[in-house]
Amino acid sequence: MDLPPELASWEDSAAVVLPIPYEATVSWGAGAREGPAAIIEASKYVEWYDEELDREPCEAGIHTLPEIQLTSAGPEAAVRELRALYDDLLEAAGDRFVIGLGGEHSISSAPVHAWVDRLDGDLSILQLDAHSDLRQEYHGTRWNHACVMRRVLERTDRISAVGIRALTSEERAVIRERGIATIFAHEMRRPGWVERAVEALGGNVYITFDVDFFDPAFVPATGTPEPGGGSWWDAMDLLSAVFGERNVVGADVVELAPRRGEEPSAFLAAKLVYKMIGLRTRP
Amino acid sequence: MDLPPELASWEDSAAVVLPIPYEATVSWGAGAREGPAAIIEASKYVEWYDEELDREPCEAGIHTLPEIQLTSAGPEAAVRELRALYDDLLEAAGDRFVIGLGGEHSISSAPVHAWVDRLDGDLSILQLDAHSDLRQEYHGTRWNHACVMRRVLERTDRISAVGIRALTSEERAVIRERGIATIFAHEMRRPGWVERAVEALGGNVYITFDVDFFDPAFVPATGTPEPGGGSWWDAMDLLSAVFGERNVVGADVVELAPRRGEEPSAFLAAKLVYKMIGLRTRP
Amino acid sequence: MDLPPELASWEDSAAVVLPIPYEATVSWGAGAREGPAAIIEASKYVEWYDEELDREPCEAGIHTLPEIQLTSAGPEAAVRELRALYDDLLEAAGDRFVIGLGGEHSISSAPVHAWVDRLDGDLSILQLDAHSDLRQEYHGTRWNHACVMRRVLERTDRISAVGIRALTSEERAVIRERGIATIFAHEMRRPGWVERAVEALGGNVYITFDVDFFDPAFVPATGTPEPGGGSWWDAMDLLSAVFGERNVVGADVVELAPRRGEEPSAFLAAKLVYKMIGLRTRP
Amino acid sequence: MDLPPELASWEDSAAVVLPIPYEATVSWGAGAREGPAAIIEASKYVEWYDEELDREPCEAGIHTLPEIQLTSAGPEAAVRELRALYDDLLEAAGDRFVIGLGGEHSISSAPVHAWVDRLDGDLSILQLDAHSDLRQEYHGTRWNHACVMRRVLERTDRISAVGIRALTSEERAVIRERGIATIFAHEMRRPGWVERAVEALGGNVYITFDVDFFDPAFVPATGTPEPGGGSWWDAMDLLSAVFGERNVVGADVVELAPRRGEEPSAFLAAKLVYKMIGLRTRP
Amino acid sequence: MDLPPELASWEDSAAVVLPIPYEATVSWGAGAREGPAAIIEASKYVEWYDEELDREPCEAGIHTLPEIQLTSAGPEAAVRELRALYDDLLEAAGDRFVIGLGGEHSISSAPVHAWVDRLDGDLSILQLDAHSDLRQEYHGTRWNHACVMRRVLERTDRISAVGIRALTSEERAVIRERGIATIFAHEMRRPGWVERAVEALGGNVYITFDVDFFDPAFVPATGTPEPGGGSWWDAMDLLSAVFGERNVVGADVVELAPRRGEEPSAFLAAKLVYKMIGLRTRP
Amino acid sequence: MDLPPELASWEDSAAVVLPIPYEATVSWGAGAREGPAAIIEASKYVEWYDEELDREPCEAGIHTLPEIQLTSAGPEAAVRELRALYDDLLEAAGDRFVIGLGGEHSISSAPVHAWVDRLDGDLSILQLDAHSDLRQEYHGTRWNHACVMRRVLERTDRISAVGIRALTSEERAVIRERGIATIFAHEMRRPGWVERAVEALGGNVYITFDVDFFDPAFVPATGTPEPGGGSWWDAMDLLSAVFGERNVVGADVVELAPRRGEEPSAFLAAKLVYKMIGLRTRP
């Protein structure tokens, strides 16, 4: 994020932002590769003070790494590259909170697998998303963004998915067979969904936040804009609960496609990242 | 909609989509003539599976007719052309569910009049709309899109209008004189509006859905974007009730003006059409 | 607003619209100087009849003054010019309801100071806004738009601020020290906020309405679009209460930046202005 | 155009601008009905002084009439309305230079027919255009914009067409049969085309200027943007010659479709109109 | 292209259009995967008659294949897939003129290699492009779009490149070492460049046309818009010469990224494809 | 510009880029304050190698300073701040070539006055521009962007202005009285204009380049887009001559308003800056 050097050094930062402008398996609206730069640009205009937390989260320090340019040789090679990078980064980061900025969702299996290994399997995933992303293969590869949670599922089935409103029959069957905790979007209209989503999670949680979780009214700037999605306050309720009641080890925010004329989407994403850092570094 | 041939043949389809890219009497923001093509393009990205219905509605078959090019000789001649076309189409379609895609709202009087005649007058109209469209004449013609429900009213006064938030004093008087059941947008904030809207309908219902029913936050891509409109879930609640409790004989979705940068609007419209087909073909 | 001469003469109008296309201290997204023209253009498409008030507010007469071109010599000189203009205008206007259209928010201190003097200090301010705008100085001047409420505070501390969701620690401290009644955006989710906001106001009220009060879903066309904002109906509830229970002496609507593709924002602003005039001229 | 009252009165103006925001028979990109307003808005930023003419053409006076709203009952009725209006206007205007702003090209037959009658047939037409517009009928009407020059041809075959680069075989045959002087776009690359175009004209000339004459690089804001078109200086060369060597009795500028983000097109059109007035009122 | 069935059957068509919406190695502005659909959509508005050729080229028949969806497993696998497809297609096509629509430029090596093999190496390449595309590797793969001509060079060095204005020192060295005939953009300002470009070609020619050959004034809708490019007439001069004097065996048009608001670019590309078919099928 | 550290250090750089995102006196289209960031972002995609100079200009080193945020207290105060900053910067820079990136044109008087003083008056100005910018005062201040060359004129009348096509009678009179060498845009169509423009300059030259010099076809992204402007090659011809024949001490590129959808404009500006650095550092 855009901060003065004294609040952004590696040494003194409690949070680390990793921009991953990867995009190679898009379905409809392209542009996710411009997501990280747009979020960082918009972060200039996010106020440091947070009136809900009543403090300035950036005082905990937020270090932003340079953009990493993954290979364009194909998604499998790219995820492999990213996995190696994450292993080194998490080792170096210690207890710093690393948050990745996509780029397309296919990148998320790299940090999830890295964390599963670091925690000997004791990891749950909170997925905020419009799509299940549970396909076995898509457009000729198992590493397409539409398959990312299926890749996650190969290592852990402790997944709590929220906001889902677009999936195939095959994916619906996987949810049933594997018992994936799922709050469909239409279920978010009934009280208690936040509690249900958190209960399905174990002690250690990785959050993968696809911004198409939000209704397109709030975030039009994404590839496949499904109507009937969550609001800002839906996200805030869920994040407040999960950061308050669980140990969030890492996170990513993906699929922002900052097309022209949609600055509000980038600004929202920047504030979302800042809010997550604020919740994580709460004294 | 964009489907493989085996799900889209005329013979085996339970639903028929008729694109009517007509636009000639626009008031403010032009573009409704590009609506049908945008909806069909966006339909490629709508998942076949519907998690609320727990099935794939497209398995009932959806046949999409070629775009019809109505005369540009004026709206009266165009509506007359469309009426003749609808008479033939409904005859041929039998119990297939025909759903028209506008184009401007002025086209809707053609299918409504066709259905009134087929049912010997036993037809109610459910109008989802921001505007009453009850003017006697507008810009020199009785066939302007702002007059469409007045043309409907000449054949039946069984109209249930929902989401209205822009009308003239003259139109307000017509509502009172003719006793048109109307749920104004500000009344949708109180419980019970769905029930009231459905109760006003008889057994056979034609749905005319002007996408400016939605708040511009959800569908900015329309000609006259009135604030304070309905949400996706408002529409779902109403449609679920009416398809569940009434016999919906036909429908149209009109006034999408897919201007640049507003793909979410086209996607929402495509999902809306698919949802209506799913509800209609429920086993 | 765009009305025929017989409804728009100075003599017979109960309301006066003053377009102030001033913009010189922008932070992020420029364009507020095109706000007044966009609102007036959009007003052509606002229906005269108001179904909630069940009358045509324009029958009370709405006179629209020509755009005033403030000096580009700097914000202090511009505010001084505007103050002098307002003194003359309010004198001439008598009990006509004068509503200013910005332009950036920095202009609002001029009418507020003018009204404070006219009422010997007996004035409260209702601020609808995402930002506190309480900085002492910003970018080298005390007359930046981010300082406007601090300038107001020099003359009166009877401020009721609603929708706030972006402020600095310094501004938070000012709120606490001076006891400014503030409904933060996250507090608008709990019942009773409208009553609290109105109770904090004295008998005479000036409303300064920054359109970034609204969530960017409803008004994307503004400079710094903060997520989590108010809806159309939130605004309606608050305005109905304040116009019903207090004497609203004047108002402004500021910070609409009508960038391309965002006509719904301008239309909403036009309807908002018309609604305020309707509420104010209620018989 | 946007001028102070002393330069814009009917009595003292040598030129009269008539905005005709008509659009009903569009083929591809809609928006021509917003053309007149965009040209007048852009005219605010055209400098009064013309360095080629070395004077301020507006000193001759330019009166701008209010927009005329033609019937939406169909193009034939609209052209008939406009013809009647032109008859009255030209009678009243005397030797004032009347220049119409479209709107779609179909409107041009009204002033041409009016002038043919006023001059007992002694009228030539200079058409700057990408399209021949010589179809007998199109989309069910003889009054479609694609037929306008065929309608003109019914009254006079003294047409000089320049910049043509899109026509049908049928239209090509009409050009050959009727001997219409035509400079195709690819012929404008050879010297002498300006002279050839002017030679084909008699003493009295009406200019109908479709802005798609220009290459889309210069005017992207039009309905059917054909590559290979003319430049600003091509237009200036031709207009200088025809105003210098012929008696230009009237003119129109049509088919500007000022879609978002294309302000340069509107500005060019405004400067073009101003330039034509400057050339016509040369002392 | 969009034609009636009788002009578009495989059997009776002299030309075949193959849409290849591939995009996976983008550098800057994404969107090339929407290129083929935009070109085909725009082709509806291209007039059939060509006034320079004085005939309707579509009468020779133009068959448009369905879009091919290449694997998203990476560019090498995608090019391999496309090569296999091209081998079959060219075998089936016989002397039909096959023209591919990209998509990103990386696809072009597939048809070129296919043609080199079919002609036992007797093939020259005419490249219209802003970039040399001669890198050995880029972003981790030898199959990036920036490497496509280097892949071509592995099979033939008979390349004539025109319009080049962006290349690296390494690419400049390759041009010198391998003696690639190159007309840099600044050399197109001197007479004789068309002749020089054609002379460098042997009897059989494949044309690969990257639309960034054009100046961004003419085609803004491309990924890396380099100023100083060619005009429509520059392209026409070169194409007329090469089709007239050489045997053009195949072609592609790539890198159109039809972003919003840039319909003129898609239209130009459609007319370009149609023009090439017209030149190729000249009796 | 975006370069690796070893080519961008202050110590080893022959050129220094100073981003000045100032904008406070806009006339029409706002956005110039986003110009510097857009140019620097676009510079990532400019190839290092220059085929006309046959070398990589960046090897001379290009240091980019952080953006300077001038006071928003008004244009006079801002220019004064900038003047002081320039005095220090030029002192520190020694013979490094300092090139400023605007921002609005009003900033240019600061570096010009600084250079006039450093060179004891021996400075000529080359102005590439659509507008004369010679007004005495505009919108209440003598420091408006429309007055910048008048401010320059107070210190030196050795100005050579090229591309002018919008000015007032008053400005025309100033040109005549003060004998300012001016190549109007329409004069650029005749050979010899480059030589005339250079001859009017003394030995030491400061170049102020307003991007509205270019025709809007090439640079639509500017505030007041005047048709009939220069091309890329016009600029290249002039710059090659002046850098070859004169001592260019400093330069600025101003008025890029990188509105949405106009990336080609930003890219052109970035390449222009890079080209000027290449010409200046020619061995």
Tell me the per-residue pLDDT of F195-224, one tens digit each, with 9 for 90 and over. Answer: 999 999 999 999 999 999 999 999 988 888
* CA A40/CA A99 separation, integer angstroms: 13
Residue D66 is classified by DSSP as: P
In 3D space, the residue among A232, A280, A278 whose CA is nearest the CA of residue C186 turns out to be A232
Q: How far is E23 from chain A (nearest CA, A)?
A: 7
Sign of CA dihedral E131, E135, E140, E145: positive
* CA C170/CA C173 separation, integer angstroms: 5
Contact (CB, 8 A) for F96 and F65? no
Q: What is the mean pLDDT of residues F170-175?
A: 97
Q: How far is C31 from chain F (nearest CA, A)?
A: 6
What residues of D are in contact with residue F189 (Cβ under 8 Å)? 233
Total number of residues shown for chain D: 283
Peptide bond into E103 cis (omega under 30): yes
Q: A147 pLDDT band (50/70/90 cuts)? A: very high
In 3D space, the residue among E17, E82, E103, E68 whose CA is nearest the CA of residue E276 turns out to be E17
**Which residue in the set C49, C261, C262 is minimally distant from B168, CB to CB?**
C49
Tokens coding F194: 């480059």
Interface residue of B2, B47, B56 to substitute, partner A, most A CBs within 10 Å:
B47
* CA A263/CA C73 separation, integer angstroms: 30
What residues of A are in contact with residue C167 (Cβ under 8 Å)? 47, 49, 51
Token pair 């297609």 in the structure block, residue: E89
* CA E131/CA E182 separation, integer angstroms: 11
Condensed to tens digits (0 to 9), the pLDDT of residues F236-266 reads 999 999 999 999 999 999 999 886 557 888 9
Query: Could you give the ipTM of this predicted complex?
Result: 0.93
List Cβ neighbours of A22 (8 Å cut-off, separation of 6 or more): A32, A33, A70, A78, A82, A102, A103, A104, A106, A107
Which residue of chain B comes nearest to D71, CA vs CA? B140
Displacement of CA E238 from its chain's centroid (Å): 14
Evaluate if pTM is beyond 0.95: no
Condensed to tens digits (0 to 9), the pLDDT of residues D137-172 reads 998 899 999 999 999 999 999 999 999 999 999 999
Peptide bond into B228 cis (omega under 30): no
Contact (CB, 8 A) for F238 and F128? yes
What residues of B are in contact with residue C218 (Cβ under 8 Å)? 215-217, 227
Phi-psi category of A228—alpha, beta or left, where left has phi over 0 and alpha has psi -120 to 50? left
Condensed to tens digits (0 to 9), the pLDDT of residues F21-66 reads 998 765 555 678 889 999 998 999 999 999 999 999 999 999 999 9
Which residue of chain F comes nearest to A263, CA vs CA? F260
* CA C32/CA C210 separation, integer angstroms: 11
Displacement of CA C273 from its chain's centroid (Å): 9
The DSSP line for E216-236 is TTT---BSS--SS-B-HHHHH
On the question of pLDDT at C252 being above 60, the answer is: yes
Beta-carbon count within 10 A of F53 CB:
15
Gyration radius of chain E's alpha carbons? 17
Tokens coding F102: 């605007």
What residues of F are in contact with residue A37 (Cβ under 8 Å)? 41
Contact (CB, 8 A) for A108 and A58? no
Write down which chains contact chain B via at least 3 CB pairs under 8 A.
A, C, D, E
On the question of pLDDT at A30 being above 80, the answer is: no
What residues of A are in contact with residue B51 (Cβ under 8 Å)? 164-165, 167, 172, 184, 186
Interface of B with D (CB under 8 A): 23-26, 30-31, 33-34, 69-77, 81, 138-141, 143-144, 259-260
Displacement of CA C281 from its chain's centroid (Å): 17
* CA E210/CA E128 separation, integer angstroms: 6
* CA F65/CA F13 separation, integer angstroms: 12
Contact (CB, 8 A) for A207 and A248? yes
**Which residue in the set C26, C69, C73 is minimally distant from F74, CB to CB?**
C73
**Which residue in the set C51, C56, C264 is minimally distant from B216, CB to CB?**
C264
Q: Which residue stretches of chain B are H helix?
A: 35-43, 75-93, 109-118, 148-153, 169-178, 193-199, 232-245, 263-280
* CA C226/CA C213 separation, integer angstroms: 8
Condensed to tens digits (0 to 9), the pLDDT of residues C12-64 reads 999 999 999 998 765 555 678 889 999 998 999 999 999 999 999 999 999 99
Contact (CB, 8 A) for C36 and C67? yes
What are φ and ψ of residue E16, in 5° steps? -130, 130
What residues of D are in contact with residue B34 (Cβ under 8 Å)? 30
Q: How far is B189 from chain C (nearest CA, A)?
A: 9
**Which residue in the set D168, D184, D216 is minimally distant from E264, CB to CB?**
D216
In 3D space, the residue among D73, D93, D94, D71 whose CA is nearest the CA of residue D82 turns out to be D71
pLDDT in tens, chain E (283 residues): 788 889 999 999 999 999 999 987 655 556 788 899 999 989 999 999 999 999 999 999 999 999 999 998 999 999 999 999 999 999 999 999 999 999 999 999 999 999 999 999 999 999 999 999 999 999 889 999 999 999 999 999 999 999 999 999 999 999 999 999 999 999 999 999 999 999 999 999 999 999 999 999 999 888 888 999 999 999 999 999 999 999 999 999 999 988 655 788 899 999 999 999 999 998 8
Peptide bond into C192 cis (omega under 30): no
Which residue of chain C comes nearest to A52, CA vs CA? C186
Contact state of E30 with A30 under an 8 Å Cβ cutoff: yes
Condensed to tens digits (0 to 9), the pLDDT of residues D210-266 reads 999 999 999 988 888 899 999 999 999 999 999 999 999 999 999 998 865 578 888
* CA D69/CA B183 separation, integer angstroms: 33
Amino acid identity of residue D208, one-letter, is: T
Interface residue of B22, B72, B79 to substitute, partner D, most D CBs within 10 Å:
B72
Contact (CB, 8 A) for F242 and F205? yes
Per the DSSP assignment, residues forming a β-bridge with C209 are: C128, C253
Q: What is the pLDDT of residue F198?
A: 98
The three-state secondary structure class of C152 is helix
**Which residue in the set B52, B217, B236 is minimally distant from A217, CB to CB?**
B217
Interface of F with A (CB under 8 A): 37, 41, 260-261
In 3D space, the residue among C207, C21, C212 whose CA is nearest the CA of residue C102 turns out to be C21
Q: How far is A262 from chain F (nearest CA, A)?
A: 10
* CA D139/CA F155 separation, integer angstroms: 66
Which residue of chain E comes nearest to B38, CA vs CA? E41
What residues of F are in contact with residue D52 (Cβ under 8 Å)? 184, 186
Residue A141 is classified by DSSP as: B
Q: How far is B184 from chain C (nearest CA, A)?
A: 8
Q: A27 pLDDT band (50/70/90 cuts)? A: low
Per the DSSP assignment, residues forming a β-bridge with D161 are: D127, D182
What residues of F are in contact with residue A43 (Cβ under 8 Å)? none
Which residue of chain C comes nearest to F138, CA vs CA? C72
Measure the CA angle with vertex A100, ends A96 and A104; round to 5°. 165
**Which residue in the set A73, A139, A144 is minimally distant from E141, CB to CB?**
A73
Measure the CA angle with vertex D266, ends D261 and D271; round to 5°. 145
Interface of A with B (CB under 8 A): 27-29, 164-169, 171-172, 184, 186, 189, 215-217, 220, 224-228, 259-262
Tokens coding B279: 């509800």
Contact state of D264 with F227 under an 8 Å Cβ cutoff: yes
* CA D203/CA C180 separation, integer angstroms: 77
What residues of E are in contact with residue D165 (Cβ under 8 Å)? 51
Gyration radius of chain C's alpha carbons? 17
Interface of D with C (CB under 8 A): 37, 41, 260-261
Query: Which helix (H) or strand (E) covers residue C252, if one does?
Result: strand C247-254
What residues of B are in contact with residue C264 (Cβ under 8 Å)? 216-217, 220, 225, 227
**Which residue in the set A48, A233, A264 is minimally distant from C189, CB to CB?**
A233
Measure the CA angle with vertex B148, ends B1 and B265; round to 5°. 35
Q: How far is C215 from chain A (nearest CA, A)?
A: 8
* CA F34/CA F251 separation, integer angstroms: 19
Q: What is the pLDDT of residue D25?
A: 64
Contact state of E72 with A140 under an 8 Å Cβ cutoff: yes
Condensed to tens digits (0 to 9), the pLDDT of residues B230-254 reads 999 999 999 999 999 999 999 999 9
Contact state of A225 with B267 under an 8 Å Cβ cutoff: yes
In 3D space, the residue among E252, E224, E282 whose CA is nearest the CA of residue E29 turns out to be E224
Condensed to tens digits (0 to 9), the pLDDT of residues A105-146 reads 999 999 999 999 999 999 999 999 999 999 999 988 999 999
What residues of D are in contact with residue C261 (Cβ under 8 Å)? 260
Q: What is the mean pLDDT of residues F63-92?
A: 95
Beta-carbon count within 10 A of A52 CB:
16
What residues of B are in contact with residue E261 (Cβ under 8 Å)? 260
**Which residue in the set E51, E215, E263 is minimally distant from D225, CB to CB?**
E263
List Cβ neighbours of E258 (8 Å cut-off, separation of 6 or more): E31, E34, E35, E38, E221, E265, E266
List Cβ neighbours of F190 (8 Å cut-off, separation of 6 or more): none
Q: How far is B238 from chain E (nearest CA, A)?
A: 34
Interface of C with B (CB under 8 A): 44-49, 51-52, 54, 56, 215, 217-218, 232-233, 236, 261-264, 267-268, 271
- Cα torsion F39, F43, F46, F51 to 10°: value is 80
State the distance between the two ends of chain C, measured CA to CA, in whole angstroms: 21
What does each C-alpha distance from D197 to A161, B18, D212, D235, D238 come to in angstroms? 70, 48, 18, 12, 8
Q: What is the mean pLDDT of residues C232-238?
A: 97
Condensed to tens digits (0 to 9), the pLDDT of residues F121-138 reads 999 999 999 999 999 999
Contact (CB, 8 A) for E276 and E205? no
Interface residue of A34, A68, A69, A72 to substitute, partner E, most E CBs within 10 Å:
A72
* CA B108/CA B101 separation, integer angstroms: 10
What does each C-alpha distance from B148 to B129, B136, B226, F271 come to in angstroms? 12, 9, 18, 55
Q: What is the pLDDT of residue C164?
A: 97
Number of A–C residue contacts, CB under 8 Å:
63
